[in-house]
Structure 1
């Protein structure tokens, strides 16, 4: 019997049996009913100087291998979207190289796969302004911010990846009104050679984005977002909404023009948001009984932890089997909520931890030394919930690695 040692916040220990992983089948054709991207992390060279403040040194074999794993389940990869890493260790030179390498790997994968998926189908990549000096160390005018966005957009497009226009700390600091956001986004979107995804990232992920889109009220801010989309017809493919507010997402989703998809970034409520059927239409203010059929697609960090479950659940939707979708995906929601527990900006620590437990990287290490950003009891809770929902892909390996990490820290079943 394979066992896992669990530890609580008081140091108490107990032993549980490791559950077998579900026997999910990989898809034999592209997923149809939902567009799904898993936001992947980067794996550092374990022996390199990835301490805080140092340039990222990446284990490219493991990093690209992780992306191939996600593709093999029929999911797309959202790359360079490490909101928990791009401002905490993943510098712009490493980000640019990541775009190039992932784009090249996606092109080769698409060719070998033969499903007709493009590089942009397989990868979308985050375009930001983080090559500039930190936003709190200087004043930046809007033209500098546009130029920074365009530099990253150019690298993204040259790699073949689909662009995701991320929220900019620099723009949040420099903008004096909602009109400044509209001006910058219109310039960047008009320069894009293909439709873009807009990313609305909430303060829970980055407190330097307070009042983004010109207001602390999401209803007012959403009007700025919607104006940007209206200003650029045919140029916005979708919106990734990461406010962790399901009511806000449903409201904005219903307001999107036809052909613009909502990609949920809500790791706390994705099961219902992806499944949703009828909902109240906020546009029909004088017709309260008016219903529309809507759902969210997905671009989620949590999905890099549970890629097999996500694939199997969407395959169930493809078959019209909503009950199977819920049976497969609902048990993973508790795990995702633990991965994204406060402080949420350090969620990638749990993602990298799960990657290590499942054998996708050789060491529990992160750029910027962020593997230390979660406590052992917090990681133990991740282990417990992953075991309960079947997210430990090779339970024997996961148990060996986790129990060894505890032992390294002087923790065993018989004392500390």
Structure 2
């Protein structure tokens, strides 16, 4: 069913309120705007599939109670962008939720398996992806587009049921709680403008004084991009911010020396930026930001240690039929090798008992690694000597 009217949306919401599941996918564009343009919402319940057209319907508020109902399981595949869109347009985070891509990694599939590949593996169906990169903002939508959109949620309820049963049988269903809680964490979808400097390309090359300037410039860019609904780089690029932050910004002329900035901002805006930078530079230098990774440049190379830890993770991942990166990411292993245990996801929850403690034993020389018959073998030395 293709929903293009408020009345049809309200009627669907009333029917869907009695469903046990709600599979969700979206189609959007984000090429020329800050906020993604929501072009279509695909929804599947126990009984029906509907395609909701946000470009034809004045308000989507009728969907909010469904997204927050504790009795309806919301099902996504790689749902972070979908959740971000729904939060931007409805102000709610769907919960409870289940992400089939995340769950698949605990059932032996690759870390970021695509929807089509998972449908093929679990449902035996091969999807056509011919409309994956079409312009979803154009109307009317073609029959091919509507069929493509429908298939994006068609198999999610069945895959959820299969995966739920398999995970429960293996005693792994509760392992997903931490990951799903993180996926539904509001902090992931509310951006503080004054934290954007952390994501600047080449920002790690700045000293603390320059980084304080970059924080102000990046925060201003974020606020302006939102207000104008333009991509960040259309307001100022990362390169322009970093180059400006390196300069002694005591005058507008100095700011305008950065290539391209004079064409992008007005004199009053330049004056505001200079004032903001000057204000923060007059503060106690201890208040200036410092990128965490900058403090680690002097730490020793740990590539060899990471290789050893990786071999242990790979072995346990294969034995337990879990994707390597789900068990322990590369950044986890780097932090472990450098002693930053509190930053390692593998040292918490189910990962700690399955791999984390064993990695600590390896770091403390309590494990030997050998190869027998072309297979890696681990020996716990404390157990051997007891």
TM-score calculated relative to the size of structure 1: 0.22
Per chain length, whose mean CA-contact separation is higher, i.e. which structure has more relative contact order (CA < 8 Å, sep 6+)?
A: 1
If each structure's helix is expressed as a fraction of its own residues, which one has the higher value? Answer: 2
